[in-house]
Chain A
């Protein structure tokens, strides 16, 4: 029987991978689309950033004080500055003709006002001559420069008013941080650890959900396409057990779904790298929250959840007549996969009302999210309960699938929506 099963699995994989709808629509396109979007965003953002840096800021310094020169120096530190010598009334037209993105007029008496404990406002005129992201980045650059000018002026005023260090006055609190994660001390600031937890633990249920949904879509296709292409009747009369046919469907779908998932995840990782890693940005120290044992445990949980997803989608697709209706029917399950993943990502299940927590725990797909969290926090008891719950569900649905495949239901079962088929 092993030979027949191998023959069936080979056919399943070949037939699925050669289907343009699956190969292009569900594997190649999702794999390529994220890197392409990431690359496009990175390229356009880099171009916008360059434009924002190159766009000069025109400054009309009518004060000429030490304080006004601090403002000019801060602006020069972030990009090109054109110093105007025009009158206040001509400054706007001169700045525009010089190609400046903004004009800053430092009024006469600016420094004197600060020294006497009051303020005179700067006049800031921004020219929106072009659309796109570069104007946003230019505004950000301008605001950043003004903020650093304000800090430099604060430091100057503090040093004049007291003999204290401006840095101490402006930043009176310093701290040394120690982060204790799962009982182990990490010599990293809490924001870095929190970022790693968010990245690695909280997003894992979402990644797992994507893998499950992918598997469901493929499994729904594998049975429905047999009905659509009128190959199921022949397949069911071959000298091969119905259990092997079911196993081949599940295995073939799992192989193709794994290929697709790997492609999509690789594409997503590349996308995230492209979008988050800006040029010259400070690198966040990498910490690994999951050890080899944790990864194995997660793989086991994902495998069990995957089997449940595959068998559930296969059973549902038996009740449809073509690929489109199978995918539409199986699509109704996606909410049961994504909802728990989102809930678990943003909320601790113990903080939910009792009824909501029980309802969430009753959904078998919640347990892939709960299992990943349990592994991350080394709560192996909860992990075992979650995996056991999914195993029970998988076994139940697999038994149902086996029963359906062993009966004529696999051929005759239909979810009817007010339409009856003629009987020959």
Chain B
């Protein structure tokens, strides 16, 4: 299997605060990798570095073999990043927003339309897709931005809390779409989530980070068995408490 993401000995400081302290992990192509950890553990910082938004103080980041620190433009062409609080342009309609985003990835107009159709399917907003984004609820905006992230068919999707703000039905729809993209189109996903049930059901492997370091890594079933836990939440609470 090809290595999709390789992160080695990553350090990131914000002034006196050390957000990442020698973090290392890797993700295989076609895998869904879940980053879990308490607030302030360094999950979002890790995803932002991977998405080429910020640079680490030291360490290396490779995406499909490309050095994300020296060749960020090449990495951006392969990834799609969904921030935890992603917004969309409020004065555009949902459709205009999807078309605007698709134009950066598609080589011609027909491909733009294909991507937009796919985006409409994922967002599942019906006729509301023609309304201005400012009229959308938080959940509708989340579905639109997630549709944007997936419709362009990146090689790697970096999703920060992908189902945050969604109700049970729409969260289920989103998880199904992510799983479908991985199985049918070979997408690699790295996501962060506070929803342990979601992580357990969706992720092939999980990495637990705490205070900027990886404490634990493995398949959800494997981790539960190793810690004699009923679910991942028990594993998380137990390991995070010990540090």
On A, residues with C-beta under 8 Å from B are: 3-4, 7, 10-11, 14-15, 18-19, 229-231, 233-234, 236-241, 407-408, 411-412, 422-424
Contact = CB atoms under 8 A, between A and B. Distances in A.
B86 A423 contact: no
A412 B77 CA distance: 23
8 contacts: A229-B90, A230-B87, A233-B53, A233-B86, A234-B82, A237-B80, A411-B54, A423-B19
Given A11-B100, A234-B81, A239 B86 contact: no
B139 interface: no
A4 B43 CA distance: 31
A34 B87 CA distance: 37
A88 B145 CA distance: 89
A408 B43 CA distance: 17
A11 B98 CA distance: 12
B83 A4 contact: no
Contacts of B53: 233, 236-237, 408, 411
B54 A238 contact: no
Contacts of B85: 230
B105 to A, nearest CB: 7
B86 A234 contact: yes
Given A11-B89, A231-B88, A237 B76 contact: yes
B91 interface: yes
Interface residues of B, number: 40
Interface stretch (B23-31, B44-52, B215-223): B44-52
Given A233-B81, A424-B45, 19 more contacts: A4-B103, A7-B100, A7-B103, A11-B89, A11-B92, A14-B96, A18-B91, A18-B132, A234-B82, A234-B83, A234-B86, A237-B53, A237-B81, A238-B101, A239-B105, A240-B104, A407-B55, A411-B54, A423-B14
Q: Which of B19, B43, B101, B105 is the most central at the interface, judged by chain A CB atoms within 10 Å of its CB?
A: B101
A4 B83 CA distance: 22
B43 A238 contact: no
B23 to A, nearest CB: 14
A423 B41 CA distance: 9
A341 B69 CA distance: 47
Contacts of B17: 423
9 smallest beta-carbon distances between A and B, as pairs: A230-B87, A18-B91, A424-B44, A408-B54, A229-B87, A237-B81, A239-B77, A233-B83, A7-B103
A237 B79 contact: yes
A18 B51 CA distance: 30
Nearest to A407: B55
Nearest to B43: A424
Contacts of A424: 39-40, 42-45
B86 A230 contact: yes
Q: Which of B17, B89, B90, B100 is the most central at the interface, judged by chain A CB atoms within 10 Å of its CB?
A: B89
Given A241-B73, A408-B55, A231 B87 contact: yes
Contacts of A11: 89, 92, 100
Contacts of A4: 103-104
B87 to A, nearest CB: 4
Contacts of B81: 233-234, 237
A241 B79 CA distance: 15
Nearest to B49: A408
B97 to A, nearest CB: 9
Nearest to B90: A229
Given A19-B91, A231-B88, A423-B19, A237 B39 contact: no
B56 to A, nearest CB: 10
Contacts of A238: 76, 101, 104
Nearest to B74: A239
A107 to B, nearest CB: 76
A340 to B, nearest CB: 36
Contacts of B39: 424
Contacts of A19: 91
B103 A3 contact: yes
Nearest to B50: A237
A424 B92 CA distance: 30
Contact of A423 (B45, B77, B82, B88): B45
A226 to B, nearest CB: 9
A255 B93 CA distance: 22
Contacts of B103: 3-4, 7
A15 B86 contact: no
A408 B87 CA distance: 19
Interface in B57-112: 73, 76-77, 79-83, 85-92, 96, 100-101, 103-105
Contacts of B88: 229, 231
A403 to B, nearest CB: 14
A15 B97 CA distance: 10
Contact of A15 (B42, B82, B92): B92
Contacts of B51: 233, 237
Q: Which of A10, A238, A411 is the most central at the interface, judged by chain B CB atoms within 10 Å of its CB?
A: A238
A231 B83 CA distance: 9
Given A4-B104, A11-B100, A237-B51, A231 B77 contact: no
A229 B89 contact: yes
A239 B78 CA distance: 8
A239 B89 contact: no
Contacts of B73: 239, 241
Contacts of A237: 51-53, 76, 79-81
Q: Which of B43, B45, B55, B83 is the most central at the interface, judged by chain A CB atoms within 10 Å of its CB?
A: B83
Contacts of B96: 14
Interface string B1-24: 000000000000010010100000
Nearest to B82: A234
A234 B145 contact: yes
A255 to B, nearest CB: 15
Q: Which of B52, B54, B87, B105 is the most central at the interface, judged by chain A CB atoms within 10 Å of its CB?
A: B87
Nearest to B145: A234
Q: Which of A7, A14, A424 is the most central at the interface, judged by chain B CB atoms within 10 Å of its CB?
A: A424
